[in-house]
Amino acid sequence: MASICSAALSGCRSLAPAIALVLALGGCTTGIQFAGGDKEGGGDAPPTEKITEQLIDSERRAYVDQARQDLTPLIVPNPSPYTIGQGDVLSIVVWDHPELAGGGMTTATAAADTGTIAPNVIPPGFAVDHLGRIQFPLIGLQHVEGQTEEQARTMLTKKLARYIAQPSVTLRVQSYRSKRVYIDGEVKAPGLQAINDIPMTLVEALNRAGGMLPSADQSRIVIERGPRRYQINLRELVQKGVNPGSMLLAHGDVVRVHSRDESKVFVSGEVVTPRALTMHNGRLTLNEALGESGGVSPLSGDARQIYVVRKTPERTRVFQLDARASGALAMAESFELRPKDVVYVAASPLANWNRHLSLLFPGALTSAVGVTTRP
């Protein structure tokens, strides 16, 4: 027994200088470290900002100001009727005068008999040419682009009245081919959608595309109109009382629904399960991120040193939360994360000490302890 104790004591004595060195090193390496971050050597390291109620309010106001944009060009509560455009095909019937239907009526009848229209075949009717005109019997070329069905019908009736007594004209758009929008991204059926007599609102366009997929991020819908880009957050619109059904799309608009996988938050360090988390339609709090990662590791994590690293176009920002402080849980629930944020939990001083000792003398401390516990 005496020999075992003397061996253990001699092992501990041999480790004493190294343990003292490791303790000194461990006290200097807690928390997040940045190159050039020492007080004497330079100012490359970003300052650490404590997460407080004041900072949370400031960040919320800054985010609202940054996200604010003028959506007035998109919001049209009372859409105008559809106007005829180049490429549209019109069905025009002059009652009691079937001869004025031209060759289109024969084609229409044949198509009705077979029930199908072959691909690349122009639908029967009167096509609007590149100058916005149609060729109609008796009255020749007539400009109809930009007119509603009712306006075009009134115009043709007046023109035909010179040749026919009290003409009765029926006009409607048979094939909508002049205006379209493109739907892309996380929808069931991406592609072109023709604008017809039903107003093409944002909700209508998404529904025609089969609806959004479960992977769609409803907070990141982009509408591109020429050089302008509008960022649409459906959740915030509803909260502000804006009806997405009043957002009218125009010819040439491109609607892109982004994926939730593009807006991830990364949780690393001393947590139970380090992982990448997808945001919930643009929203994820610090408390939720820690909870979905299993929380701070009870064996090695330092609850006083929870960091959020955020890369902005101007600089890198580092926020710190002391989870042991009063009201810390409420602040963690109120602190909104942003896409690509990195949540890092630092190791406790004891965990750092153990790791440094294991790196310098792998297995030495275990051997010394094993000697004392060996029967």
Residue 29 belongs to a domain with what CATH number?
3.10.560.10
* pLDDT reported for residue 273: 94
Is residue 94 a part of any domain in this protein?
yes
Is residue 13 a part of any domain in this protein?
yes
Closest alpha carbon to 146 in 136, 165, 133, 158 = 133
Global pTM value: 0.71
Is residue 228 a part of any domain in this protein?
yes
pLDDT digits (tens, 9 = 90+) for 242-294: 888 899 999 999 999 999 988 899 999 999 999 999 998 888 999 999 999 99
Is residue 375 a part of any domain in this protein?
no
Give residue 163's domain range. Answer: 89-175
| Domain-ending residue, one of 240, 260, 280 | 260
Higher-pLDDT residue of 53, 24 = 53
Sign of CA dihedral 318, 322, 325, 329: positive
160 and 271 both lie in a single domain? no
The total number of residues shown for the chain amounts to 375
Model confidence at 38, pLDDT cuts 50, 70, 90, reads very low
Question: In degrees, to the nearest 5, what angle opens at C-alpha 131 toward C-alphas 129 and 132?
Answer: 65
Question: In degrees, to the nearest 5, what angle opens at C-alpha 180 toward C-alphas 92 and 128?
Answer: 30
- The pLDDT of residue 52 is above 90: yes
273 and 363 both lie in a single domain? yes
Task: Provide the number of structural domains found in the chain.
Answer: 3
Model confidence at 41, pLDDT cuts 50, 70, 90, reads very low
Which tokens hold the place of 166? 């009290």
* pLDDT reported for residue 217: 92
* pLDDT reported for residue 160: 93
Sign of CA dihedral 294, 333, 219, 62: negative
255 and 277 both lie in a single domain? no
Model confidence at 31, pLDDT cuts 50, 70, 90, reads low
144 and 185 both lie in a single domain? no
Is residue 84 a part of any domain in this protein?
no
Angstrom distance (rounded) from CA 333 to CA 236: 19
Angstrom distance (rounded) from CA 53 to CA 330: 9
Ranking 59-73, 92-106, 186-200, 285-299 by mean pLDDT, the lowest is 92-106
Contacts of 214 (CB under 8 A, 6+ apart): none
pLDDT digits (tens, 9 = 90+) for 224-244: 999 999 999 988 888 888 888
pLDDT digits (tens, 9 = 90+) for 290-310: 999 999 999 899 999 999 999
Is residue 363 a part of any domain in this protein?
yes
267 and 346 both lie in a single domain? yes
Phi-psi region at 95: left, alpha or beta (left = phi > 0; alpha = psi -120 to 50)? beta
Is residue 93 a part of any domain in this protein?
yes
- The pLDDT of residue 110 is above 90: no
- The pLDDT of residue 131 is above 50: yes
250 and 193 both lie in a single domain? yes
276 and 249 both lie in a single domain? no
245 and 271 both lie in a single domain? no
Sign of CA dihedral 214, 220, 225, 227: negative
- The pLDDT of residue 36 is above 60: no
Helices 2-28 and 349-360 pack at an angle, to 10 degrees, of 120
* pLDDT reported for residue 19: 47
| Domain-ending residue, one of 175, 195, 211 | 175
Angstrom distance (rounded) from CA 253 to CA 204: 14
268 and 356 both lie in a single domain? yes
SS3 assignment, position 290 = helix
272 and 205 both lie in a single domain? no
The mean pLDDT value of the chain amounts to: 82
